[in-house]
Chains A and B, each alone.
Chain A
Amino acid sequence: MNIYLIALLIISSLCAIFSLTLHLQMLQQNSYYPSRYFGWLKGNYNKALLKDAILYLIISALVLLKFYRIGCLVALIFLLKNLKKSRKTQKKSIKPLVFTDRVKRIYLTASLLFLVLIVLYILSPATIIGRFAITVCLILCYVPPLLTFTLWGITLPIEKRISKYYVDDAKKILASRPDLKIIGITGSYGKTTTKFILTRLLSEKFNVVCTPHSYNTPMGVVRTVRTMLKPQTQIFVCEMGAKNIGDIKEICDIASPDFGLITSVGPQHLETFKSLDNVFATKFELADAVKANGGAVFVNGDSKEIAERIGEGFITYGTDKKFDFCGEKLSYGRNGSEFTVKLGSKKIKFTTKLLGLHSIIDIIGAVSLAYTLGVGVSDLQYAVASLKPAEHRLEMKPFTNGSLLIDDAYNSNPEGCLEAVKVLGSFDGMKKVIVTPGLVELGDKEYECNYALGKEAAKNCDIIILVGKNRSKPMQDAVQDSGYSQENLYVAASFKEAMEIYSQFADNNSVVLFENDLPDNYLY
């Protein structure tokens, strides 16, 4: 037994515990899926892993050569470095490690693990067990991913037990509430928005609780049931997300839904789903669960992938007359969107501040379900009119000189941008202006997407103001190729300059669209 070797092991263990912060953060943000964490390692940790390995080899060599004191010194230096680094990265992080009970348990397990290994060495320093303990200890200390996987593996059975307890508790709570109606919402796109709209509409008549934010995993649902459900709650609106086949069924087994709403099926998470058929099958696990309870399932008939695949026995909504609930006469204006939905025998007019066909279809879906559950027509009209758009997502605001701003600055999805330009194009009778730097970070497709956006802008806008001479080149090309009148195309060097150009046109009959990636503080 060597006191310096013990010191080295202790310092190394501390060093490892501090380097864990980053890895646990990544594991946590990947929902404790080791495969996704591994994906992060593959993408971001190659160089660092090499450094880890070299450090491990150096320390091992020093131990083999019995240069324990030098080893201690090296380890100490790295301990201090790790300490500083872990603090710095956590402070800079957008989403730092959250010290949940699970994380605390992992840290505790790590400490116990190192303690056991060091005690093993102390008890039998000269035997094979002692040497084995040293080797394992050092490897785990200097190769953090290995340590992370080990800890994940050790704690897994306990975590499974704990989550099973929570799941059972949630099931018990729901079982004690036979009158509670549960509505499941899923879909590749639009499920979070639809959930919030539906909750708002239903709250005109019922006490409603929905899963907060975009909680849509089994544990998110369990947590909502355990902490947010109140005795007076009459309806629970439950968002259900899926990345793998069976995910929706798993949630339905916890919160058995009486009604279902499927917003869309599309090519999301194809890396795990492999095919659109699998996406469809997974989303429709919700329909199976609802039908087993004798309930009704509402589906977006406008979603091509759904329409091609569904059979009989669904309530359809969307923009086609053949659907059970059909939105018509969509138009945009100063006061937002206007459309009608046929409810019962009457066509009911709705107005909303939300813009864009996707939002309108989400509203139609929510209206059809809320109406079916007994929310009155005038309550629905009021609730729809009071919906608030998300910030910087086709958000309507009053702007300079009485003009109207459509703020879509957070949109970076190429299709979404085209839709936004189309929305602008439907502001009939107003002067339509777009201010945009175009799209970025799209790799090979960047030119193509920007070109398409430019074409669409030329078709729909009276005045085009592009930001950034080089950056907006593809859009300039598209606008020119469209034969667009040159005097209505402006290229500004900065956003500030773009605003100066716009201010010449701003009056109470003009509408301006801010599209994608503008500085956060552009309004000031």
Chain B
Amino acid sequence: MKVNVAFVYGCRSVEHEVSIISAVQAMRSVNRQKYDVTPVYVTKNGEMFTGEDLFKIENYRNLPELLKKCRKVYLTREDDKVLLKSKENKLFGKNKDITIDVAFPVVHGTNCEDGTIQGLFEFLNIPYVGCDIISSAVGMDKAVFKDVLKNVGLPVLDCICIYAKEYVADKQLATKNIKKKIGFPLIVKPVNLGSSVGITKVNTEDELDNAMMLAFSFTNRVLVEHAITNLREINCSVVGDSDECEASVCEEPIGSDEILTYEDKYLGGGKQEGGSKGMASLGRKIPAELTKTQEKEIRDLACKVFKAIGANGVVRIDFMIDGDTNTVYANEINTIPGSLAFYLWEATGVNYPALLDRLIDLAFKRARVRDNITYTIDTNILSGVSFGSKGSKGAKM
């Protein structure tokens, strides 16, 4: 009897393909002595599929062909079990239901990583890996994330948030405001997208409008913050929960442009391996060249950020260092980082199967903690209540 882990990935997100890469990597790295793996691929229109063919990344090149070989399924609870059931039955006989013991979301971006899929798991009351609804949601929204950190005294860059309509209604006013409070050069980002989608560095006022409109094509709220000219980006992963967490070694990504673009992050390694290596193949220095004190500062800060938003599982936190002042700022958090940041943990001395094992343990731990705190009241309060004259007759029986 092995624990059956359902890897849920894909989903309606701009980072759909990245999620497939991350999930396939993870599914192939799980310790099969201990776990059974059930792939649950969610298509861009939200349908779930499972099947053996989903384990191979090559098969995803021809999606219609792949899906034909898979089984269309849905997740549901029956009695004390969560089942993956077939939507269509075979011509003869019935497809067997698959019991899921723990869900492992490997999804990136809005409509899934942001608490959406976590909500589904909470609703089904199944243990799941990673951040819960609130920490996922906070982690996804860059503006809220900054607010939460600022509130507990953690260092973040000041920013301005603007809604699309607000901006379009009076571009001049908005520009004036930005100029006054932030100043050039600056960075424009959609508040709720990961993987550098829609992010632009703006050096002069002329470039601002284009950058704003690009960002607004992804979301209706945009964040503008000062661009650090002497910038170093440092990333650090954290694993754990609110009781105990630890930070990995740091990495320094090396971008072809001044900030990492989507192409850098996920298509950079494409030349060698058909783009299937995801974050792991991105140009980067591990460990980052930092002084001992600076590294310690960042790793401590990473754990504080992790706890501040109530994260769980594995996250990657991206920091910025202003080279002129040597100040460290927390920039953003990935609550489900690309490739689950396994390459950072390998460099820290934790191999991928061991990392996945720990993540699954953490999922069960959170479920236990909840069981210990909350309990449902077994008796139905309504059973003793009379509803009008008809009900009261019934209650007397």
Chain A residues proximal to chain B, CB less than 8 Å? 173, 176-177, 200, 203-204, 207-208, 230-232, 383, 386
User: Are the C-beta atoms of B368 and A231 separated by less than 8 Å?
Assistant: no
Interface presence of B3 (CB below 8 A) = yes
Give the residue name and chain of the A residue nearest to B99 (CB): A231
Is the beta-carbon distance between B102 and A232 smaller than 8 angstroms? yes
Query: A232 touches which one: B101, B371, B372, B373 (CB < 8 A)?
Result: B101
Instruction: Tell which of A173, A176, A203 touches B372, judged by Cβ atoms closer than 8 Å.
Output: A203
Most buried by A among B101, B102, B372: B372
* Cα–Cα distance between A383 and B243 once the two chains are bound (Å): 14
Annotate B1-27 by CB proximity to A: 1 below 8 A, 0 otherwise. 111100000000000000000000000
Complex Cα distance, B127 from A232, in Å, reads: 11
Distance from B16 Cβ to chain A, minimum over Cβ atoms (Å): 30
Q: Pick from A173, A177, A231 the residue with the most CB of B within 10 Å.
A: A231
- Per-position binary interface string of chain B over residues 365-397, scored 1 when its CB falls under 8 Å from any chain A CB and 0 otherwise: 000100111000000000000000000000000
CA–CA, A200 and B375, complex, Å:
14
Interface hits, B51-79 → A, CB 8 Å:
none
**5 residue pairs bridging A and B, Cβ less than 8 Å apart:** A203-B368, A207-B368, A231-B2, A231-B101, A383-B372
Q: Which residue of B lies closest to A388 (CB)?
A: B375
Residue of A nearest to B368 (CB): A203
Chain B proximity of A354: nearest CB distance (Å):
16
In the bound complex, residues from chain A placing their C-beta under 8 Å from that of B101 are 230-232
A203 to B367, CA, bound (A): 10
Decide: A203 near B364, CB < 8 A? Known: A173-B1, A232-B3, A232-B101.
no
Contacts of A232 in B (CB 8 A): 3, 101-102, 127, 364
B243 to chain A, nearest CB (A): 8
A231, B3: Cβ atoms closer than 8 Å = yes
CB distance from A199 to the nearest CB of B (A): 10
CB distance from A1 to the nearest CB of B (A): 45
Bound CA–CA A203/B372 (angstroms): 8
Instruction: Label chain B's interface by main secondary structure.
Output: mixed
Q: Tally chain B residues at the interface, Cβ within 8 Å.
A: 12
CA separation between A173 and B373, bound complex, in Å?
30
Find chain B residues with CB under 8 A from A177 CB: 1
With both chains docked as a complex, state the minimum distance between the C-beta of B218 and any C-beta of chain A, in angstroms. Answer: 39
A204 to B241, CA, bound (A): 13
Q: Tell me, rounded to whole Å, the shortest Cβ–Cβ distance linking B333 to chain A.
A: 27
The complex places the Cα of A241 from the Cα of B101 at a distance, in Å, of 31
Which residues from B are CB-within-8-Å of A204? 368
Chain A residues with CB under 8 A of B371: 203
Give A353 Cβ to nearest chain B Cβ, in Å. 15
Set of chain B residues within 8 Å of A203, measured between Cβ atoms: 368, 371-372
What distance in Å separates the Cβ of A377 from its nearest Cβ neighbour in chain B?
13
- The interface residues of chain B lying within 8 Å CB-to-CB of A383 are 372
- Do residues A176 and B1 form an inter-chain contact, with CB atoms below 8 A? yes
| Chain B window 232-252, contacts with chain A (Cβ cutoff 8 Å), 1 for yes, 0 for no | 000000000000000000000
A177 to B372, CA, bound (A): 25
**Nearest 7 CB-CB pairings of A with B:** A231-B3, A231-B1, A232-B3, A203-B368, A207-B364, A231-B101, A232-B364
Complex: A232 Cα to B102 Cα, angstroms: 9
**B365 CB, nearest partner CB in chain A, Å:** 8
For A231, the chain B residues whose CB sits under 8 A away are: 1-4, 101
Nearest-Cβ distance from residue B247 to partner chain A, whole angstroms: 21
CB-defined contacts of A208 to chain B, threshold 8 Å? 368
**Alpha-carbon distance A208/B368, docked complex (angstroms):** 9
> Given A231-B2, A231-B3, A386 and B368 touching (CB < 8 A)?
no
Expressed in whole angstroms, the minimum distance between the Cβ of A96 and any Cβ of chain B is 15
Q: Which residue of A lies closest to B373 (CB)?
A: A386
**Chain A residue at smallest Cβ distance from B1:** A231
Q: Which of A173, A200, A204, A232 has the most CB of B within 10 A?
A: A232
Give residues 113-134 of B contacting A (CB, 8 Å).
Answer: 127
Q: Report chain A residues within 8 Å CB of B3.
A: 230-232
Which residues of A have CB within 8 Å of B127?
232
**B339-369 interface (Cβ within 8 A of A):** 364, 368
Known: A231-B1, A232-B3, A386-B373. 11 other contacts (CB 8 A): A173-B1, A177-B1, A200-B372, A203-B368, A203-B371, A204-B368, A230-B101, A231-B3, A231-B4, A232-B101, A232-B102
Give bound CA distance, A232 to B371, whole Å.
Answer: 15
Closest chain B residue to A180, Cβ basis = B1
